[in-house]
Structure 1
């Protein structure tokens, strides 16, 4: 009943928009269109907008060859006198100029295309309002469609790696659909779930927490953005500082990710088709020992230990084929994942109504030795309409995606698999089943246990929004945004008994998991703009009403009589571990913004918001947040032109403000209980605390932006400092209380600070050849500023005051023992044992710096783009001891030499114990910095004469490469994940074509 109600809301919203559009269209068709014409001289008027339909203020309109002209007003309107045959020239800083020939028409409406290479007036999305790079008082990073489309990735966040200062993105793994981790200016909260940013798609907030899955994915879960079509994204903005994020209040504590989808064209119709095909492989492998080397090291270990190899302790030396060699890395992930993408979009309209309707299909295979395919189908609709008098506007955006992921998670990507003895037996027997008998020798387990398991993860994601606006008076506008989202995930994992060792008597099973997330949001808003001489005022006032609901159901069905019946719940012998949770989150707020500037030179931006959250007790549900941002465009001062003529643009800006954080579980202020395994019982899990309140994040930033030589070279330098206090955590309680934890505020303060630099330059700008380059560099720092009595808390062995949150407390490595040759670490308190009292060194696991260098080169019909991503950091080497029953890195061959830095091969416990202490010391750390050719794209624009001959408007073919080359001294699998044996990205090459009709 509830689901039907929610879906009904979407239908009602859609029908409402259709009805409004129909009424307006009928009314306008019945109205007469005025037409005035003068043969030689006439009054010409019209409106100038951007491609998004928004009016442009200050556009210069002049008659070519004459010394007079005019500019557009707040609504983009203009009026000018011109003769029949004159050429009107429309020009605006930040947009490409346009020329229109006058032929006795009295109305000329124009849509200007944004010039992304211009600094001053490029429109950027600031959330509830638009601004420009020139006039922005906040720090907003932006990428456009040309930089991210055609990348063969599932999540749009993966396309941002290396492109934005202050934005650290780490892939969750190469399995399609896995959640990508994004951190905007560091970690603010002690809780993992307290560090997710806010996702906004076309004005609608989307839950950013990964969706839970029962499959073994190398990430926290399923990416909630995986259903989006990357080719349909117009731009992605990241809001970082207080001035940019405070208008979102508590939701913007960790930054805001604004995703804007593409809109239709305002003149004519067009059909765009895009297709690409490619393949992806693992970019690198560990340099492991081959069979002869491994057996040689194993024999030395037994010799050093004076132990005779037997079938039980060394089957690889006594039973298994000594000449056999299996590259387990190649077996596990040595396949080629084919990728295909096809999209079709139709757009068109006129100055009043324009639309874009499209869909896409994406599929990616697997590198595993199994049929694990990923498929995604998306559809999108964007409809915009405005009345003839320009007072009323309606915008509809709908994005819908469905995907199917068949990854079963049966092949574990871990050390136990890729480091198996290289002469181990085959995993399959002669009849295609799993080989158990040979693997049982010596206590090994077949590494592909679970091979015949299958999974079906099916997700659906709807993001819809209707925006209505009406201009009551000149400069006064009433707006309302109505949004609805629905995300469902249904997962069925089948586990037939033949996937497991028959001696374990495992029956046929199925795991069932269903999740649903739904939300609606209503945001009425009043905007007012005023110009009084040199004083310009922009203000808005709005409210937010939002509700999120989440439902999760899971259970295990066991005892199916046959494999064919798995999944049919009625055929199961028993249903075990059933669980169901249903939560509701309500959020309300009022917000306002006042932007003031004097003569487009001095800027002041004031933002305030009062938030209310149902996640807090009645006494602390509301809190106030706000920010102030200022900017001075000093290049407008008279002294600049004479004193510093080479500086074409200069701006100083600063901001300070507070945002909150309520990213905790629902109902934390109440006593909570869970059902016992037996019937009719409850046991306590969380103690009530009605007094805990919001985390507070205070943000400060100062920056300078410079343009040199008519903005051919542009520089932006920012310093920021964010402090998050009143930390919200689940505080563990002693067992004597009867509860496991209580939600509380801890007296801890976390600080993130650092520098960000962005440099853009035009290296060449000629008629048939131009070359633009950009650099972004981030120098982040993180530390725990204070935590009173941390030594008496449960975090005593996790954090250190003055050190970053992401640290590893390690021993001080003191070299090899001269008598035994084993690793040693320092016993600080000399008590004869090693514990956290001896872990005196805090190793910072964060990146010291990161960034990217991108280049775009255009020559005639050719275009070349490439991006280098770079990171400076440390990591740990994969192995430090040879001689055990698992394979090791080739550099450990040096352990056969007595002068080696590595301890000699051994199979005995003292060597394993010494290795364990050494792994938790400073010994295994090494430089893991890297340079990666993240993207390389070559495109060729098909000549116009050929295009026109076959009835097309334009077309291009392209070749795209991703993660093609990584330069690093790191010995692990992937320098992006320097503390684990995991791969974040695949190396891929795709080729495609794009045509427009």
Structure 2
């Protein structure tokens, strides 16, 4: 063969040139100097990639991977393999003496046209999207050992504000997408919550109530997303503007969060196993500098001297009964422990080219920094099954996830607040014989809380079945169905040991029981049509939604148990009290449609609409229509822009306008309701009827510019939005004389959210080194645009026209009076009375700027990534709630700045136990002095990983990783955590180490 080729070349016959080129590849494949090279190509989730181009740079010989991502090619040791696939970064690999390769392709974040974005009822790409959609991938989520998947989004998305308001695992984070739209607020109120959709199935986003303390003014309750396994999530998309959300109608008024779980990938029945295990520890990253015992005693004595009174054993046990030389660091004692965390995830996938599956299980456990056996555990299981027929016309997709968590935590606010207020010379916690020390009833032992055992168990099943059939190549019929079932049971026991033994004779033991259930189903038939006529492409869909949900709640309190061993057995209680026993049903129906057009891949138009019907409105107000229009123009495709392509490689203008609605209110609000009188002898009204209130309206406008520079190595996105929510649905407060606290109604009030969002990303590759960076910045503004008659309404002292909904009305602080030593505030109208009329200072507590800066460096097998989160905001400065000199500790810096003698210019008022100082302190606590800059810069995540060379062992990859969270916070705030000022447990500083194996 070689001689024949040489002879023909020597003849130099022009007519045989094409034949020569064709035979050269055959010659190369049969060359005795070549070896057979085999390999497998996967993505970063170890899913095989079929159709990857494998070519040799020298001879230009090539092949492609099969459905299992495998390939075979002949090459010499001097050859170099070029591996390329649309949407992924190309790789060059010298062959050398290696005959087998395991290749992982990294997604190319600059390939705008091929990165698929889930837009809910349809898919799009970065290049073609007309709406505002933010996306986080599995790679970013898996780096963070979090309980709730939303916690992994902090600092990563423009316009999405997420605050984990306690370091206790299991509580719901506070999330807002482009601000607060509704006047409705408070725990359990979903008026400002986004819509959660998991694999096409909507779930109730309202947190679960809790007796254990996971519900409080500062903590939102138990989040229904806790039962999800973050390691099983493929991506999270957040839909923000009208173009992206209008297809969800009333459900998308506050934005939509789409969670997509991992699916199997077709192959040749090879089973792939992915395993991850990690363990770590967490501590409270910051403690306050509180006064010593000597300074505390001096302060207390000074308070009585200033008042001219004498301490007694009743009002001053710390001075007369407790050891004056004793010192306890209560911060270290009550929340200075170490929380341990452990996680295990196992994932198995396989199947054939037409039927494939993914099966996963997970386990997570986290203990507490508090004393006692507080812990949170979670077990999860998930199954995904995909099948397609031989002719590719019929497709089936089934996904099911089950999660069960057991929460034996509590919010810890009692331990934290006690540690920040308890006198440093307070008695020992235990007596010499190991029992709780009550020190002759002179104090409340904080460890009594350990005997108040509480446990919440939540189980949730989420399942989705999607069937599709291609009637013609252009027309497809699809049926999406889903079912969710959530059950929650909580038991809190208060035994006799919870109380001071001196009070046992007057105390009844009790148990508190909460049982809740949420059950829903959804059916969505739809038709999808796609066709192309020359340069014009049409993508249309039409469908309908039928949804039903039922919520049940039963709260029972049992009191008077004969002994602690019977606690929780309601049959043993002397008295039972049912505080809630409800069943609520909700029905929803809708029709929706979308028409997507694009011409010449540079002009895009997207039209969406939805007609909604909700059982939460009266018969005359039950239906409403919503819709949006979105468009995009890719200027860089125009001929007159081609000269700028070397610099300005991509230019796109897009915009959208539309309306969404909201029915996020309680059920049956338009009906008269009654409850049985005690003893069952009759009925009494519990709700006023109002059958004519209707849908809340949210109109959204957005304009955006997207740029790609230097072949998209640098991408810049700028967005401006304006959302206006009107016809506000509220529980309108009524005077007590009516016999009712509120009535459901619409207010002619308009809330506006405007803002700018900036995003930038870049990448750099050279040899074995790569760098990726991204920055997002949000500048939001919230204000009440109009509210006719607000002065005569019950909201007159809550909101103000032109100001934010998250506003405090405060006294104007004027300092410490040098003569009296008391805090003073301005009496604006000089009437000698301090009331709301004197609260003239308006303080906006919303975030005025927030975002994140993310980097990832890779060199060979080593990778380093980190995320800085930054927030600019005002908040409440930390001060003890009691006036200086009362029983309880204080900050050392406040002790040093207190008033002591007439004429002193001081920051802190005098030590006193009198009523006048208490009143002055109250006015101080409601003045602008208490509020300060609580901005912060936080190293949210820091990760280091190393991939071991394990290919020769038959292991596809083995990665060792070290992950840190909340490692460093830079702030002027002097409390525990600027993210949520107060006495809740701050976000823990976590350090975890683990191992990821792919077989």
Which of 105, 113, 122 does residue 115 from structure 2 map onto?
A: 122
C-alpha distance after superposition, 1:111-159 (max 9, x if no partner): 9974345333211110011100110000000111111114221100111
In 2 relative to 1, CA 949–54 (structure 1 residues): closer, same or farther, beyond 3 Å? closer
Q: What's the CA shift for 1:933?
A: 0.6
1:895 equivalent to 2:888? Answer no
Q: Partner of 1:895: helix, strand, or coil? A: coil
In 2 relative to 1, CA 532–809 (structure 1 residues): closer, same or farther, beyond 3 Å? same
- In structure 1, the residue matched to 2:531 is 530
- In structure 2, the residue matched to 1:7 is none
TM-score w.r.t. the length of structure 2 is: 0.89
Structure-to-structure mapping, 1:197-216, within 5 angstroms: 197-216=194-213
- In structure 1, the residue matched to 2:445 is 446
Q: Partner of 2:537: helix, strand, or coil? A: strand
Which of 257, 281, 284 does residue 282 from structure 1 map onto?
A: 284
1:173 equivalent to 2:179? Answer no
RMSD: 3.0
Q: Is the 8 A contact 1:51 1:266 kept in 2?
A: no
Q: Is the 8 A contact 2:110 2:712 kept in 1?
A: no
Q: What's the CA shift for 1:418?
A: 2.6
Q: Is the 8 A contact 1:150 1:231 kept in 2?
A: no
- In structure 2, the residue matched to 1:105 is none
Q: Is the 8 A contact 2:165 2:979 kept in 1?
A: no
Q: Is the 8 A contact 1:874 1:927 kept in 2?
A: yes
Q: What's the CA shift for 1:639?
A: 1.9
C-alpha distance after superposition, 1:960-997 (max 9, x if no partner): 0000111111011101013x222341111000001111
Q: What's the CA shift for 1:683?
A: 2.7
Distance 1:131 1:771 in 2: 27
Q: Partner of 1:911: helix, strand, or coil? A: helix
* Count of matched residue positions in the alignment of Structure 1 and Structure 2: 929
- In structure 2, the residue matched to 1:811 is 811
Distance 1:948 1:804 in 2: 58
- In structure 2, the residue matched to 1:378 is 380
Which sections of structure 1, spanning at least 5 residues, go unmatched? Answer: 1-38, 42-47, 77-81, 101-109
- In structure 2, the residue matched to 1:950 is 953
Q: What's the CA shift for 1:305?
A: 2.2
- In structure 1, the residue matched to 2:586 is 585
Q: What's the CA shift for 1:949?
A: 3.7
Distance 1:806 1:211 in 2: 24
Q: Partner of 2:449: helix, strand, or coil? A: coil
C-alpha distance after superposition, 1:567-625 (max 9, x if no partner): 22222222123531000000000000111011110110000000000000000110000
Q: Partner of 2:451: helix, strand, or coil? A: coil
Distance 1:98 1:353 in 2: 30
Distance 2:802 2:899 in 1: 42
In 2 relative to 1, CA 877–114 (structure 1 residues): closer, same or farther, beyond 3 Å? closer
- In structure 2, the residue matched to 1:29 is none
- In structure 1, the residue matched to 2:614 is 613
Structure-to-structure mapping, 1:135-174, within 5 angstroms: 135-174=128-167
- In structure 1, the residue matched to 2:969 is 966
Distance 2:733 2:306 in 1: 47
Identify the range of structure 1 (738-747 vs 645-654) with the bigger mean alpha-carbon deviation: 738-747
In 2 relative to 1, CA 83–540 (structure 1 residues): closer, same or farther, beyond 3 Å? farther
1:493 equivalent to 2:492? Answer yes
In 2 relative to 1, CA 771–449 (structure 1 residues): closer, same or farther, beyond 3 Å? same
Structure-to-structure mapping, 1:298-447, within 5 angstroms: 298-407=300-409, 412-413=414-415, 415-438=417-440, 440-441=441-442, 444-447=443-446
- In structure 2, the residue matched to 1:641 is 642
Q: What's the CA shift for 1:673?
A: 2.2
- In structure 1, the residue matched to 2:567 is 566
1:134 equivalent to 2:127? Answer yes
Q: What's the CA shift for 1:847?
A: 1.0
In 2 relative to 1, CA 397–97 (structure 1 residues): closer, same or farther, beyond 3 Å? farther
In 2 relative to 1, CA 959–99 (structure 1 residues): closer, same or farther, beyond 3 Å? closer
Q: Is the 8 A contact 1:233 1:262 kept in 2?
A: yes
Which sections of structure 2, spanning at least 5 residues, go unmatched? Answer: 1-24, 28-40, 68-72, 94-102
In 2 relative to 1, CA 141–196 (structure 1 residues): closer, same or farther, beyond 3 Å? same
- In structure 1, the residue matched to 2:931 is 925
Q: Is the 8 A contact 1:728 1:744 kept in 2?
A: yes
Q: What's the CA shift for 1:382?
A: 0.8
Q: Partner of 1:450: helix, strand, or coil? A: helix
Distance 1:500 1:286 in 2: 29
Distance 2:105 2:861 in 1: 23
C-alpha distance after superposition, 1:275-305 (max 9, x if no partner): 0000111111222112122222222222222
- In structure 2, the residue matched to 1:230 is 230
- In structure 2, the residue matched to 1:658 is 659
- In structure 2, the residue matched to 1:12 is none
Q: Partner of 2:897: helix, strand, or coil? A: helix
Q: Is the 8 A contact 1:407 1:454 kept in 2?
A: no
TM-score w.r.t. the length of structure 1 is: 0.89
Q: Partner of 1:448: helix, strand, or coil? A: helix
Q: What's the CA shift for 1:407?
A: 2.3
- In structure 2, the residue matched to 1:540 is 541
In 2 relative to 1, CA 415–482 (structure 1 residues): closer, same or farther, beyond 3 Å? same
In 2 relative to 1, CA 593–285 (structure 1 residues): closer, same or farther, beyond 3 Å? same
C-alpha distance after superposition, 1:40-96 (max 9, x if no partner): 89xxxxxx999999999999999989999999xxxx9xxxxx999999999654235
- In structure 2, the residue matched to 1:184 is 177
Distance 2:653 2:681 in 1: 66
Q: What's the CA shift for 1:493?
A: 1.3
Distance 2:399 2:951 in 1: 33
In 2 relative to 1, CA 411–877 (structure 1 residues): closer, same or farther, beyond 3 Å? closer
Structure-to-structure mapping, 1:50-129, within 5 angstroms: 93-96=86-89, 114-129=107-122
1:906 equivalent to 2:905? Answer no
1:832 equivalent to 2:835? Answer no
Q: Partner of 2:960: helix, strand, or coil? A: strand
Identify the range of structure 1 (696-705 vs 342-351) with the bigger mean alpha-carbon deviation: 342-351
- In structure 1, the residue matched to 2:247 is 247
Q: What's the CA shift for 1:867?
A: 0.4
Q: What's the CA shift for 1:417?
A: 4.6
In 2 relative to 1, CA 64–588 (structure 1 residues): closer, same or farther, beyond 3 Å? farther
In 2 relative to 1, CA 69–362 (structure 1 residues): closer, same or farther, beyond 3 Å? closer
In 2 relative to 1, CA 407–567 (structure 1 residues): closer, same or farther, beyond 3 Å? same
Q: What's the CA shift for 1:742?
A: 1.3
Distance 1:789 1:59 in 2: 66
Distance 1:737 1:902 in 2: 45
